[in-house]
Amino acid sequence: MIGELQCVVLDCPDPAALARFYAGLLGGEVDRPDPRWSLGEDWSTLHTPTGQVLCFQRVADHRPPRWGEPASPQQAHLDIDVPDLTTAEPAVLALGATLLHDAGSWRVYADPAGHPLCLIPARH
């Protein structure tokens, strides 16, 4: 092993707002003090209940990726297990997500900054 994943960083126009969106979706603590990062208006974090960390970085000229357009690739996306799509969808939409694609057994949404994320029924 060469290293260990520290966090996933998403570029966005408003780091605090996107951190709150993902806290509503995944739970966890927004902007918990952590010696690895300096928090501020250009950087926000989410420590999830499972130990994963998402970070949000302000980019002044942020251009969101576009789902399904090769000229504007998605760059990265998150797959999120949910117990039930029927109850998860209204909750994620209420947080500010936008439905991009319904594949039947899973769905693709854009977060408020335009990053794609997939809600997938958990298989336990």
Q: Whole-prediction pTM value?
A: 0.81
Q: Are 44 and 85 within one domain?
A: no
Quick check: is 65 in a domain?
Answer: no
Q: What is the pLDDT of residue 17?
A: 97
**Parent domain of 39:** 8-58
Determine, yes or no, domain membership for 17: yes
pLDDT along the chain (124 residues), means of 10: 80 95 97 89 96 92 82 76 91 95 92 91 74
12 and 51 co-located in one domain: yes
Answer whether residue 34 is part of any domain: yes
User: Looking at the domain assignment, is residue 64 inside a domain?
Assistant: no
Decide: 19 and 4 in contact? Cβ < 8 Å: no
Helix (H, G, I), strand (E, B) or coil at 80: strand
